[in-house]
């Protein structure tokens, strides 16, 4: 019976290879007459016979019965009439336990000189977000290893958080701390649109040998084509999904989702989309929820995701920041003013929020965190009066208490880059701090 079924399958096989031909190239876009292919499918462009190169490209649209392609690499050797071959498949990358400790590009190729280990499994980079009703609720905290986050902005397994900051405020350093100190089984780190110099610096300095041992780093630098930068985000998310589906608690860290949006804007403008909100095309706001909703919990494991958002001019209301904040389950705001005052990590805990904290922490922990926030808010509201000496002691019991606690609060919020603090220890330190206001 099986033999007959196989023979029928063989008879139905299409043994012809269908090719198209390059018609024209405009900016980032390659237009070809044929082959028959669908959006998202990978095609191989055979460059001029002298060069003999094969360039991978993806179908991104159609125009007047022509196929619109965007390449994954530079297109220096493409000429009119070059053949385009359809593969019939979307982009797939190889995943497995052997990938841990590796640094790869958006197509899953190793950036080290050694090839990837054997035994890896092909896995599609584009997946649909899970059914909302199949997602278990977030009920368990995960250790981040950063004292101010673990105590005041407690994060749950499967939560998705945005790290909002301008350039040079310490996003990469904070990500390195989380990767080294986190309680997750494995880290998947996507460096999207980074300067080439910063990649090695992040891996060796911020992540370190200890962090790399339980991490997979996906790199798409700023000089690469827009599609490679977008695929870097999809590849990192797909790798996270693979490990989640086999029962791991995964940390996904993407730096930055803003550069993914910028790359999608380039693709959208090249395919003829109109620029709408501050130059961003409609497809940008369509892909963001699809990408960000893929992470979170499922029946097997969890993906706790940290997405950095680059806010131009420290404007938290610019379109990408506003959209991402609405999709995620919390946000940490890094403030330049705090960094300039020497507070690291420069998290403004009053502007930051974890939307699941009340579900995963004890009442005593919540009360301590609320008391801490109240003291800090009271001091900041009256800071100018205190600093110029206009406030007289005894005028307000709340302000007196805030002034008394403030040096301890500052000390608590500061943490050295290589200081590892366990979550239970951090909560104990918070409780002790609030009990020593008289010292």
Cα pseudo-dihedral 20, 24, 30, 33, rounded to 10: -20
Residues 85 and 119 in one domain: no
Residues 175 and 309 in one domain: yes
The residue from 341, 360, 379 where one domain ends is: 360
Q: Is residue 10 part of a domain?
A: no
Q: How many domains would you assign to the chain?
A: 3
Cβ atoms of residues 328 and 288 within 8 Å = no
The residue from 90, 106, 125 where one domain ends is: 90
Residues 40 and 165 in one domain: no
pLDDT value at 11 more than 90? no
pLDDT value at 51 more than 80? no
CA distance 399 to 383: 10
Q: Residue 271 sits in a domain of what CATH number?
A: 3.40.50.12240
Q: Is residue 133 part of a domain?
A: yes
The boundaries of the domain holding residue 113 are 93-360
Q: Is residue 2 part of a domain?
A: no
Residues 86 and 212 in one domain: no
First-to-final CA distance of the chain: 84
User: pLDDT by residue (tens digit) across 272-315?
Assistant: 889 888 889 999 999 999 999 999 999 999 999 999 998 876 66
Residues 83 and 135 in one domain: no
Q: What is the pLDDT of residue 439?
A: 41
Q: Please give the mean pLDDT across all residues of the chain.
A: 89
Q: What is the pLDDT of residue 438?
A: 47
User: pLDDT by residue (tens digit) across 364-415?
Assistant: 999 999 999 999 999 999 988 888 888 888 888 899 999 999 999 999 999 9
User: pLDDT by residue (tens digit) across 413-435?
Assistant: 999 988 889 999 999 999 999 87
Residues 416 and 391 in one domain: yes
pLDDT value at 172 more than 60? yes
Residue range 106-129: mean pLDDT, rounded: 89
pLDDT value at 50 more than 70? no
Top pLDDT among 95 and 28 is at: 95
Q: What is the pLDDT of residue 436?
A: 63
Share of the chain above pLDDT 90, in %: 56
Q: What is the pLDDT of residue 15?
A: 63
Residues 128 and 255 in one domain: yes
Q: Cα 19 vs. chain centroid, distance in angstroms?
A: 37
Top pLDDT among 8 and 294 is at: 294
pLDDT value at 13 more than 70? no
| Range with the poorest average pLDDT among 5-19, 118-132, 220-234, 330-344 | 5-19
* 288-306 burial code (b ≥16 CB/10 A, e <16): beebbbbbbbbeebbbbbb
- Angle at which helix 397-413 crosses helix 423-434, to 10 degrees, equals 150
Share of the chain above pLDDT 70, in %: 96
Strands 330-333 and 160-165: parallel
Residue range 177-195: mean pLDDT, rounded: 92
pTM of the model as a whole: 0.90
Residues 30 and 109 in one domain: no
């Amino acid at each position: 019976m099986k033999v007959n079924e196989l023979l029928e399958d063989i008879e139905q096989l299409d043994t012809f290879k269908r090719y198209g031909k390059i018609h024209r190239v405009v900016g980032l876009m390659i237009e070809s007459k044929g082959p028959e292919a669908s959006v998202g499918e990978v095609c191989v462009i055979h460059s001029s016979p002298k060069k003999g190169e094969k360039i991978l490209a993806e179908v991104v649209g159609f125009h007047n019965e022509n196929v619109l392609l965007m390449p994954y690499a530079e297109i220096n050797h493409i000429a009119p009439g070059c053949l385009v071959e359809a593969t019939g498949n979307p982009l797939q990358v190889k995943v497995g336990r052997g990938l841990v400790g590796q640094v790869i590009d958006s197509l899953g190729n190793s950036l080290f000189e050694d090839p990837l280990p054997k035994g890896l499994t092909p896995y599609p980079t584009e997946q649909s977000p899970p059914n909302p009703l199949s997602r278990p609720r977030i009920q368990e905290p995960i250790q981040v290893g950063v004292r101010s986050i673990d105590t005041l902005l407690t994060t749950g397994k499967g939560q998705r958080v945005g790290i909002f900051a301008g350039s040079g405020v310490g996003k990469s350093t904070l990500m390195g701390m989380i990767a080294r100190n986190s309680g997750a089984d494995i880290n998947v780190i996507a460096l999207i649109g980074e300067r080439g110099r910063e990649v090695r610096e992040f891996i060796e300095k911020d992540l370190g040998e200890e962090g790399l041992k339980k991490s997979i780093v996906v790199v798409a630098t700023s000089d690469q084509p827009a599609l490679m930068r977008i695929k870097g985000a999809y590849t990192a998310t797909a790798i996270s999904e693979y490990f989640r589906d086999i029962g791991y608690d995964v940390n996904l860290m993407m730096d930055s989702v803003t550069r993914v949006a910028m790359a999608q804007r380039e693709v959208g403008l090249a395919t003829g989309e109109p620029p709408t909100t501050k130059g961003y095309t409609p497809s940008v706001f369509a892909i963001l929820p699809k990408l960000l909703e893929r992470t979170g919990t499922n029946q097997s494991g969890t993906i706790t995701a940290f997405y950095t958002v680059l806010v131009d001019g420290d404007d938290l209301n610019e379109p990408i920041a506003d959209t991402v904040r609405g999709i995620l389950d919390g946000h940490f705001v890094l403030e330049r003013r705090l960094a300039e005052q020497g507070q690291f990590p420069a998290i403004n805990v009053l502007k930051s929020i974890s939307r699941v904290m009340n579900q995963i922490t004890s009442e005593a922990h919540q009360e301590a965190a609320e008391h801490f926030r109240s003291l800090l808010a009271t001091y900041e509201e009256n800071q100018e009066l205190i600093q110029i000496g206009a406030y007289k002691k005894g005028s307000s019991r709340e302000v007196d208490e805030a002034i008394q606690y403030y040096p301890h609060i500052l000390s608590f919020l500061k943490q050295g880059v290589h200081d590892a603090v366990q979550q239970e220890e951090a909560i104990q330190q918070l409780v002790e701090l609030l009990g020593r206001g008289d010292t």
